[in-house]
Amino acid sequence: MNLRQSHYNSVIHVAEAHTIIFNALSGCFIIVRNKLLPKEWNLNSIQIEDSLLFSQMVKGGMIVEDEVDEIELVRTKIAESENNANQYILHINPTVDCNFRCWYCYENHKVDSRMSKDVLESIKAFIIHKVEEGIKVFHLDFFGGEPLLEFDNVVKPLILTTNSHCKNNGVKLSIHFTTNGSLLNDRIIEFLANYECTFQITLDGGRDTHNKTRFFKGGKGSYDLILENIQKLLSQKLFVQLRINYTSSNIDSVRDMNEFLSNISDSCKKYINIDFQRVWQDKKQVEDNTEKKAEGLREGLIQLGMQVVPSYLPDNVTNPCYGDKINHLLINYDGKVFGCTARDFNEDNSIGCLNQDGTVSYKETKILQRRAAKFSKKICHTCRIAPLCGGGCRQVAVDTLSYPGCSMGYSEEDIDKMILQIFRKNYLNQKTD
């Protein structure tokens, strides 16, 4: 039996005395005292000098039989996680208009863009067809633009229709809103409290910096109103992911939010988590201390008893983006359909259009391109975190097909940092358990 080291091993020296060995395919870690490591890192030296370490590496997937096709194993994992026939994820853009004009938004907002009654009825027909296909879970997600601009005309009718047909077919319904939170009111919240609803709501730092970015016509800031609405959602036991968009300019102001967060009752804290996301236009090639500050803020919020999303960890193989899943679609207000929510909603980016009867006419070339792009680069196949990253989501893979390097732009240092974050997260979980 011929053995070899896995493609997906990482060896990271974490201290003078210890080294971490990690395999991204198995997810296993081994902590080794440096004095036990052979000077020459090869199978023979490990096997001869430390048979226990060798056996642990075999058990942890760090050493595999030569004929094992690890690349195919990653492909299989990708297929298994993306081809779940038991659920369907539908994103709806009721409008691409918005009541704010955030400077970093990637969308080209169209003033007074509204879904017609014809498109609304076609979406209802689409939903009815999908619910009756035998799925077990239907995820209805409202995006935009600001979806609550069209709450009465689009959002509420679609919820009522979807809920009715899900109940009749024994299908579980979950509803999600990506919203700026400014248009929520008691009437809307009272209606949504009857359903399993979750929300992603964004703040841009503390009060002063947020109000300079997100303000109403006439200049009035939205910070206090949004926080008030978040508190109302939490009191109704509706889950909120509070996304904090940070930059090198606003990162120091985030501490201003501590007063609000520290006043959230213990009973409500389980319904909110905090997700720090750096504004993409602010990501600099030169080193600055913004990321260190963000990490310090995460730690501070954890001390306040808040649930905080860890800084980015690749998990696009076992937990892929919804846009990668076979049972996903976004329908725009104008009936055009898309595979991704993170691109401008124009004709060039569309993958088809919704027909009057609720069926979809797809651009087959684009569909085939999206299906084939993920994990297609040779550089990805033996990258040591390929079983976690998968070469990025399908949209990123399509966008970077002509670029031979890493689609995600990861350096070896970036990869080491991510692995150490995974180790820390797993270690903390074990300590908690």
* pLDDT(433) > 50: no
pLDDT band at residue 287 under the 50/70/90 scheme: low
Rounded-to-integer distance, Cα 149 and Cα 146, Å: 6
How confident is the model at residue 432, as a pLDDT?
42
Give the predicted TM-score (pTM) of the model.
0.92
Q: How far is CA 295 from the centre of its chain?
A: 19
H helix or E strand, kind and range, residue 305:
none
pLDDT band at residue 426 under the 50/70/90 scheme: confident
Per-residue pLDDT tens digits for 29-47 = 999 888 777 666 666 666 6
- Give me the mean pLDDT over the 3-12 stretch: 93
Rounded-to-10 torsion of CA 31, 34, 36, 41: 90
137-142/172-179 β-pairing: parallel
Least confident of 49-58, 95-104, 187-196, 256-265: 49-58
* pLDDT(373) > 50: yes
How confident is the model at residue 40, as a pLDDT?
63
How confident is the model at residue 430, as a pLDDT?
53
Per-residue pLDDT tens digits for 124-163 = 999 999 999 999 999 999 999 999 999 999 999 999 999 9
Per-residue pLDDT tens digits for 399-420 = 999 999 999 999 999 999 999 9
Per-residue pLDDT tens digits for 71-109 = 999 999 999 999 999 999 999 999 999 999 898 888 888
How confident is the model at residue 75, as a pLDDT?
97
Query: Which single residue is written with the structure tokens 């899943």?
Result: 325
Per-residue pLDDT tens digits for 197-233 = 999 999 999 999 999 999 998 899 999 999 999 999 9
Q: What is the 3-state secondary structure (H, E, C) of 214-264?
A: CECCCCCECHHHHHHHHHHHHHCCCEEEEEEEECCCCHHHHHHHHHHHHCC
pLDDT band at residue 248 under the 50/70/90 scheme: very high
Rg of the chain in Å (alpha carbons): 24
Average pLDDT, the chain: 92
Interaxial angle between packed helices 117-131 and 156-168, expressed in degrees from 0 to 180 and rounded to the nearest 10: 20
**Count, residues in the chain:** 433
- Give me the mean pLDDT over the 317-344 stretch: 95
How confident is the model at residue 406, as a pLDDT?
95
How confident is the model at residue 74, as a pLDDT?
97
How confident is the model at residue 120, as a pLDDT?
98
What are the backbone dihedrals phi and psi of residue 195, each rounded to the nearest 5 degrees, phi first? Answer: -125, 165
Q: How many CA atoms lie within 13 A of 419 on its CB side?
A: 29
Q: What is the 3-state secondary structure (H, E, C) of 60-88?
A: CCCEEECCCCHHHHHHHHHHHHHCCCCEE
The residues that bridge with 23 in the sheet, in sequence order, are 9, 28
Rounded-to-integer distance, Cα 423 and Cα 415, Å: 12
CB neighbour class for 198 (10 Å; exposed up to 12, middle 13-18, buried from 19): middle
Rounded-to-integer distance, Cα 349 and Cα 205, Å: 31
Contacts of 378 (CB under 8 A, 6+ apart): none
Per-residue pLDDT tens digits for 109-124 = 889 999 999 999 999 9
Residue 181, SS3?
Answer: coil
Query: Which single residue is written with the structure tokens 């389980």?
Result: 270
Query: Which single residue is written with the structure tokens 């009825």?
Result: 121
pLDDT band at residue 17 under the 50/70/90 scheme: confident
